[in-house]
Amino acid sequence: MSLTDAAFEAEPVHAEVVHGKGPWQLAWERLRRDKAAVISMAVIVLVALLALLAPLFALITGHDPLTQYPETALTPEGLPVGPGADFWLGADSLGRDLFVRLAYGARISLLVGLSATLLATVFGVVVGLLAGYYGGWVDGVLARVLDVVLSFPYLLVAIVLVAAVGASVALTIFVIAFFSFAAMARVVRGQTIGYREREFTEAVRSLGASPLRIMVIDVLPNLVAPVTVLASLLIPTSIVFEATLSFLGLGVDPRTPSWGAILADSTDFYRVAPGLLVFPAVLLLLTTLAFNLLGDGIRDALDPKR
C-alpha cells in the first residue's frame, strides 16, 4: 500500500465519524450481561434508597430512631412486639422501631464504607503514583512502611486507638481509610512501576512531556481498572469492619443506630425475638455480598481474559 492511497484521497473528510467502542463501553456491556452483577447493583440501589429515605420512613411510621415507645412496642410482659403494621419489622428490646433504626443504620454503613474507600482511593492513588513514578529511596522506605502497616490487623490498631482517644465515626473512618490506603497505594505503585518503563510512556517522555502529564494522562487511565476493582472490594470490607467495631462497642456511639450496634443489642433477646437478629444480619449480609459480587463482576468485565 502506498502512502498516497487514492481511496482515501477521494473520500470526503466530512464523512460520518466512526466511533470505536472504548474499553469502558465494552466493560459496561459485559457487566450488564452479568446477571449476578446486575442483581447486586439492584440490591445496592435498594440499600442506598433505604438510607436516603430513612427520614421519610421515620415520618410515615411516626417513629424516631432514638426514641423508645414502651406503650406500643412492648407487650405487657415487657417483650418487644413482632413485625406488624405499626412496627414493620418489630421493635427492639427497648421499644424502638427496628425498621427505622435499620434504615438509619444503612446511612452509617454506607457513609463509612464509601467515605473511607474514597479517602483511601484518592490518597492511595496519589501516593502510589508518585512513589512508583519517581522511585528512589523515598519509594523504598514507603514500600517497606506499607508492608509493615499491612502486616498489622485493622482491629488491633483500632482497639488501641479507641482506648487512647475514644470511639467515634471519624476514628472508624480514619482507621479503615488508613489501612485501605496502604493496600491501594501498594497496588498503584506496582502498576505504575510497570507502566513507567512501557514504550508509550517513553514516547511522550521523549517529547519532553512533564512528569505530571505522564502520570495523569498516560499512566492513570491504565490504572482505572485495578483501582476500580480494589475500591469496589474495599467498600464491603469497610462496611463489615464498621459493623464489627460497633458490635464490640468500639465504633459509633452505642445509642446511634448502626447495624453492628443493633446486632449487639439483639444478643440477649433473640431467643424471644429472632427478628432482632435475623433482619439486621440478613441486611448486612446482603449488602456486603452485593458489593463483593459487583466487585467480582467489575473485575471480570474489565479483564475478560481471567
Partner 1 sequence: MSLLEVSDVRKYFPIKSGIFFQREVGRVHAVDGVSLSVEAGETLGVVGESGCGKSTLARCMTGLHEVTSGTIAFDGDVRRDVQMVFQDPYGSLNPRRRIGSIIADPLVIHREGTPSSRRGRVRDLMALVGLNPEHYNRFPAEFSGGQRQRVGIARALALNPRLVVCDEPVSALDVSIQAQVVNLLKDLQTELGLTYVFIAHDLSVVRYVSDRVAVMYLGKIVEIAPGEELYERPRHPYTAALLSAASVADPDRPRDRVVLRGDVPSPISPPSGCRFHPRCPKAQERCRVEEPLLLGDGHKWACHFPLEPGERLRSAEVGR
Partner 2 sequence: MWRFLIRRIVFGVVVLWLVATTVFLLFFAGPADNVARRLAGPRAPIEVVEQIKDTLGLDRPLFTQYLGFLGDLLRGDLGTSFISQTPVSTLILQSLPGTLWLVFGAAVLWMLMGVGGGVLSATKPRSLRDRTLTVLVLAGISLPTFVLGILMIYLALSVFPGTGLQPGPYISPFIDVGAFLSTMVMPWICLAVVQAAVYVRLTRGSMLDTMGEDYIRTARAKGVPERSVTYRHGLRAALTPVITQFGVDVGTLLGGVVVTESVFGLQGIGQLMIRSVRDGDLPVIIGAAILAAAFIVLANILVDVAYSFLDPRVRLA
Binding site for partner 2 (CB under 8 A): 148, 151-153, 155-156, 159-165, 236, 240, 243-244, 247-250, 260, 263, 266-267, 270-271, 274, 277, 281, 284-285, 288-289, 291-293, 296
Q: Which does 224 bind (CB under 5 to 8 A by kind): partner 1, partner 2, none?
A: partner 1
Residues 138, 111: Cα–Cα separation, whole Å: 33
Task: Considering only the stretches 4-12, 233-241, 271-279, 285-293, report the one whose residues sit in contact with partner 1 under the rule CB under 8 A.
Answer: 4-12
Q: How far is the CB of 57 from partner 2 (least distance, A)?
A: 23
Residues 142, 291: Cα–Cα separation, whole Å: 30
Q: How far is the CB of 136 from partner 2 (least distance, A)?
A: 20
Give burial (CB, 10 Å; 0-12/13-18/19+) of 45: exposed
Q: Which does 266 bind (CB under 5 to 8 A by kind): partner 2, partner 1, none?
A: partner 2
Q: Among all chains, which residue has been given the C-alpha cell 529511596?
A: 137
Nearer to partner 2, 111 or 286 (CB): 286
- Where is 299: in which H helix or E strand? helix 275-302
Residue 2 CA to its chain's centroid (Å): 54
Q: Which of 42, 60, 203, 216 binds partner 1 (CB under 8 A)?
A: 203
* Residue 97 CB neighbour total at 10 angstroms: 29
Query: Residue 213, interface with partner 1 (CB under 8 A)?
Result: yes
Residues 54, 105: Cα–Cα separation, whole Å: 9
Nearer to partner 1, 26 or 79 (CB): 26
Residues 168, 181: Cα–Cα separation, whole Å: 20
Q: Which of residues 224-253 bind partner 1 (CB under 8 A)?
A: 224
Nearer to partner 2, 10 or 164 (CB): 164
Size of the site for partner 1 (CB under 8 A): 37
Query: Residue 1, interface with partner 1 (CB under 8 A)?
Result: yes
Reference 133, options 221, 228, 201, 230; nearest CA is 201
Residues 125, 230: Cα–Cα separation, whole Å: 11
Query: Residue 199, interface with partner 1 (CB under 8 A)?
Result: yes
Q: How far is the CB of 31 from partner 1 (least distance, A)?
A: 17
Q: How far is the CB of 111 from partner 2 (least distance, A)?
A: 18
Residues 192, 46: Cα–Cα separation, whole Å: 37
Reference 246, options 158, 180, 119, 157; nearest CA is 158
DSSP notation for 103-117: HHHHHHHHHHHHHHH
Nearer to partner 1, 152 or 200 (CB): 200
Residues 228, 206: Cα–Cα separation, whole Å: 30
Residues 106, 51: Cα–Cα separation, whole Å: 5
Query: Residue 22, interface with partner 1 (CB under 8 A)?
Result: yes
Q: Which does 162 bind (CB under 5 to 8 A by kind): partner 1, partner 2, none?
A: partner 2
Q: How far is the CB of 291 from partner 1 (least distance, A)?
A: 25
Residues at the site binding partner 1, with contacts judged by CB under 8 A: 1-3, 5, 8-9, 11, 13, 15-20, 22-23, 137, 140-141, 144, 198-200, 202-209, 213, 217-218, 221-222, 224
